Structures are given as structure tokens and as C-alpha cells.
Amino acid sequence: MKSNIFNDSSYFCEVEAEPSYLENHSSPEADQYVFAYTIRILNTGEHTFKLVSRHWEIVDANGEIQEVRGDGVVGQQPVLEPGEGFEYTSSAIIATPVGTMKGKYQMVAEDGTPFDAEIPEFHLQIPRTLH
């Protein structure tokens, strides 16, 4: 799932999410479904920027919302020059076999201009749950 995001024509980044179900780490009998997700961020603009923080909304099939806020991602605040990318993998636990995630990264360009990069909603689902 890709999304081209920008605040102004010179601040572009592309965000792609790829989720997967971690069956060996999940406990359906305890309503714990664990999903990994790999995020790829690519600076497709003209300016260097730094990812300073994140905000996630994780929603399960019961409508329960988990909000996650914090500095950087996986303990890092990557700086991306034009054409550079950054990839990381993290995980989420929800109480149902199906859910969604979406959010945004707060970025700061090298000239001090702040902007948000929206993370498009993507589905968390165990295999063969949805058609």
C-alpha cells in the first residue's frame, strides 16, 4: 500500500506498508493476534528531512482503538536525503483476527519546515480471513 504525501511541492515522501501475521507469536485462545509490519519511506522530494515522531491508530474488529505516539521509529530518527529510503519492521497486537492501522510521521525538513507524512490505512488480517 503506497501513498504519496506532501506539504508543499518540494516536500515529497512515499510511504509503503507491508503487514504479515505472526502465527507463532499469536494466542487466538487468549485473543492475542500478533502482526508484523514493514514500513518503507522514500524521500522523493527536493529537500532532506528527518523523521522526528510517529502517531499510530490501531483498530481491531471490535472497534477498540490503540493509539501509539513516540519519538522516531524503532529507536531511530532517520534523516533522508533526496532519493534515500529507510525501512524498518515493527509489530502490533490486537484482540481480533482482523484490524487496521493508519497514522502519520512528523517530519522536519533541513530548512526547519515541519510537515506530516500520512501513513495510509492498511489491513491486519490472518490469512484466509477476508476475500
CATH for 45: 2.60.40.1470
> At residue 9, does pLDDT exceed 90?
no
Q: What is the pLDDT of residues 64-117, one digit of tens each?
A: 999 999 999 999 999 999 999 999 999 999 999 999 999 999 999 999 999 999
Structurally, the chain folds into a number of domains equal to 1
Residue 60 lies in a domain: yes
- Count of CB atoms situated within 10 Å of the CB of 82: 14
Residue 131 lies in a domain: no
Residue 15 lies in a domain: yes
Instruction: Say if residue 90 is exposed, middle or buried (CB neighbours under 10 Å; 0-12, 13-18, 19+).
Output: middle
Residue 16 lies in a domain: yes
Residue 130 lies in a domain: no
At 129 the pLDDT is 62
Mean pLDDT for the chain overall: 90
> Rounded to an integer, what distance in angstroms lies between the CA atom of residue 131 and that of residue 111?
46
Residue 128 lies in a domain: no
Which pLDDT band holds residue 12 (cuts at 50, 70, 90)?
A: confident
Instruction: Say if residue 16 is exposed, middle or buried (CB neighbours under 10 Å; 0-12, 13-18, 19+).
Output: middle
Residue 129 lies in a domain: no
At 5 the pLDDT is 43
Q: Which three cell numbers stand for residue 31?
A: 485473543
> At residue 10, does pLDDT exceed 80?
no
At 2 the pLDDT is 44
Residue 71 lies in a domain: yes
Domain range enclosing 60: 2-123
